[in-house]
């Protein structure tokens, strides 16, 4: 069975700050952590980290959620964009922290779990 490289890009906007995590799973798998366009640090991934990432990717489910009602005063403190790409598929998710803490929490479980795995790879975080 031929395997293909996978690329993940997670962008997190929190408190007017921007963190970006770029992960590649290939012969030389690595993670790069950026703030705006500056690469803060980069390192190779271990075999266990790659296995954890692949398991999280395999468990992804496309979330289906409803817009919150206009009468609610939901204030977001962070928003996220996660892009997962390979030769055979491309998935893009956009959500806010209110999506994972409110009525839509179940819809975003697998997506926020993958995002948490990516963030946990930033050992200096």
Mean of the pLDDT values across residues 82-91?
A: 90
CA distance 51 to 111: 17
The pLDDT tens digits of the residues spanning 66-84 come to: 666 655 556 777 888 999 9
Mean of the pLDDT values across residues 8-36?
A: 84
- For the chain, domains (ranges, CATH) are 6-120 (3.30.1560)
Total residues belonging to the chain: 125
Q: Beta-carbon neighbour count of residue 27 at 10 Å? A: 7
- pLDDT over threshold 70, residue 59: yes
Residue 44, classed as helix, strand or coil, is strand
Residue 47, classed as helix, strand or coil, is helix
pLDDT score of 106? 81
């Amino acid at each position: 069975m031929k395997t293909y490289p996978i690329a993940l890009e997670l962008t997190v906007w929190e408190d007017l700050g921007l963190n970006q995590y770029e992960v590649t799973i290939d012969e030389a798998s690595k993670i790069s952590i950026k703030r705006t366009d500056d690469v803060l640090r980069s390192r190779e991934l271990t075999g266990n980290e790659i296995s954890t990432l692949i398991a999280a990717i395999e468990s992804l489910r496309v979330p289906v959620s409803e817009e919150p009602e206009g009468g609610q005063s939901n204030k977001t403190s962070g928003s996220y964009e996660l892009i997962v790409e390979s030769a055979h598929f491309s998935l893009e998710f956009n959500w806010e922290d209110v999506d994972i803490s409110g009525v839509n929490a179940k819809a975003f479980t697998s997506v926020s779990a993958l995002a948490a795995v990516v963030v946990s790879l930033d050992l200096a975080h």
